[in-house]
Structures are given as structure tokens and as C-alpha cells.
């Protein structure tokens, strides 16, 4: 009788252990499946998440300022009213829900905190127009005025591209987003503004054109080499 009881107990123990192992295996499979699903979802988000952003991307502008050329991107959800503004890839404004689909968003750009405004106007039906203003002027008008008050040069020094900007109203000089220390002096035929970029001596010469319409002509000289001006 005792032998039969022991045998029965052993069989019961083995059966219980089998059920426990089967259950544990099922839990592991479920956990693995959940992890695989989570990993798969994360992979999908990382690979295709940008598509969601691109569907709401409605406008991209490039704005040339003294400290560099800045990229402005604007997302507008025409169903939710969502508005997102990026400056040089950095999120500046995010509004997920807006009942009013038209309006404006104001922010700043660059080192000098230049004021920028995106205007959202309804054209017809569900079509919208997006315009950018810089310092209260349309982008086109601002750039036209800027071309009259600044000079820009682009050159390569020590294998690096350099963008030099002269603000003619203040005689401030910028190079790759940095305001340079300068020294000005009067010379026989005009003025010279000296500064250095790395180990290179730079000078902006200002001479009269002799013509009222042209005014003062500014020339950049780097290591005794004249650099041609570029139009932006």
C-alpha cells in the first residue's frame, strides 16, 4: 500500500512539474513575442516615422543672415491645425491642436535674434498659402534690402569653407557665424578694416567708386589675394 502511494505521489509530482514547465515555456514565448513586437514597432517608427512628419511639412525657406544661412521648416496639419516650426533642425514652436487654421507664428533666427514670422492664409477651399517675413518685410524684400547693406564672400582656407559678411552700416564683420574683432584705419584712397581668420591676414578695403549710384566699393583681400564677391 505504501509502495503504491509513493508511486502515485511520484507520478503526481512529475505531472505537476511537466505542467509547470509547459506554463513557464508559454510565458517565455509570450514575453519573447511581446519583445519582438515592441522591437518591430520601434524599428518601424525609426525607419518610417519621418514619413508622418513629411506629410505635414508644407514649406521650407533658406534665410541668409550675417551669421550664416539658416533653414526654416514649417509643418501645418490642415485637419488638426498642428503647427511646428524648425530652425536649423531645432524645434522652436510646437502646437498640436489649433481650432483656427489660419494665422501667424513669430520666432527668432540666428545669433542676432532676428524676428521672423510665418503667415498662414487660406487661398481657396482647403488650400493654404505660407509666407515668411523677416523683420516685418517679405523674404524677397528683405533679401533685396540686405543685398544693398551687406557684402558677402565665400572662400576656402585650410581646407574649410569660410563665409565672410560685411555689414556696411555698422562695418561689423562676420565669419562662419562669429563676429570678428576688427581694426580700422584710414589710408590714402579710403579705409581698411583688418581682421584674422586662423593664421590668415584679412582686409576689407573701402574706396569710392566715383559714381553716385555705385557709392563705396568694398573688396576683401586675404593673404594679398583679392576674393570675388558672391550674391545670395
| pLDDT on residue 214 | 76
Per domain, the residue ranges of the chain are: 55-142, 149-227
Residue 5 has pLDDT above 60, yes or no: no
H or E element in which residue 141 lies = helix 139-149
Q: How confident is the model at residue 44 (pLDDT cuts 50, 70, 90)?
A: very low
Burial of 94 (C-beta count, 10 Å sphere; 0-12/13-18/19+)? exposed
Instruction: Give me the sign of the Cα torsion angle 211, 216, 218, 224.
Output: positive
Domain 149-227 adopts which CATH fold?
Lipocalin (2.40.128)
Tens of pLDDT along 7-32?
Answer: 444 444 454 545 444 444 433 333 33
The pLDDT of 115-127, averaged and rounded, is 93
Residue 209 has pLDDT above 70, yes or no: yes
Domains 55-142 and 149-227 share a fold: yes
Helix (H, G, I), strand (E, B) or coil at 166: strand
The pLDDT of 96-119, averaged and rounded, is 95
**Which CATH number among 3.90.930.12, 1.10.1200.10, 2.40.128.180, 3.40.50.720 corresponds to the domain 55-142?**
2.40.128.180
| pLDDT on residue 168 | 95
8 A C-beta contact, residue 230 and residue 156? no
Burial of 186 (C-beta count, 10 Å sphere; 0-12/13-18/19+)? exposed
Beta bridge partners of 166: 151, 173
More confident residue, 79 or 144: 144
User: How far is the CA of 26 from the CAs of 2, 29, 38, 152, 188, in angstroms?
Assistant: 36, 5, 18, 69, 92
Pick the range with the lowest mean pLDDT from 39-43, 93-97, 108-112, 172-176. 39-43
Amino acid at each position: 500500500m505504501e509502495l503504491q502511494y509513493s508511486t502515485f505521489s511520484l507520478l503526481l509530482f512529475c505531472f505537476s512539474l511537466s505542467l509547470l514547465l509547459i506554463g513557464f515555456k508559454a510565458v517565455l514565448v509570450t514575453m519573447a513575442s511581446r519583445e519582438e513586437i515592441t522591437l518591430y514597432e520601434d524599428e518601424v517608427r525609426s525607419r518610417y516615422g519621418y514619413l508622418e512628419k513629411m506629410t505635414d511639412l508644407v514649406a521650407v525657406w533658406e534665410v541668409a543672415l550675417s551669421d550664416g544661412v539658416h533653414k526654416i521648416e514649417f509643418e501645418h496639419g490642415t485637419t488638426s491645425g498642428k503647427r511646428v516650426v524648425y530652425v536649423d533642425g531645432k524645434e522652436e514652436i510646437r502646437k498640436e491642436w489649433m481650432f483656427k487654421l489660419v494665422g501667424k507664428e513669430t520666432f527668432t533666427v540666428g545669433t542676432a535674434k532676428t524676428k521672423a514670422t510665418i503667415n498662414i492664409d487660406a487661398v481657396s477651399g482647403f488650400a493654404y498659402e505660407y509666407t515668411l517675413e523677416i523683420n516685418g518685410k517679405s523674404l524677397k524684400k528683405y533679401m533685396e534690402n540686405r543685398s544693398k547693406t551687406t557684402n558677402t564672400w565665400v572662400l576656402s582656407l585650410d581646407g574649410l569653407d569660410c563665409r565672410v559678411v560685411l555689414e556696411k552700416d555698422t562695418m561689423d564683420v562676420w565669419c562662419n557665424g562669429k563676429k570678428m574683432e576688427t581694426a580700422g584705419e584710414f589710408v590714402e584712397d579710403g579705409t581698411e578694416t583688418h581682421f584674422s581668420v586662423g593664421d590668415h591676414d584679412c582686409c576689407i578695403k573701402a574706396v569710392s567708386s566715383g559714381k553716385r549710384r555705385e557709392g563705396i566699393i568694398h573688396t576683401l583681400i586675404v593673404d594679398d589675394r583679392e576674393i570675388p564677391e558672391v550674391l545670395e
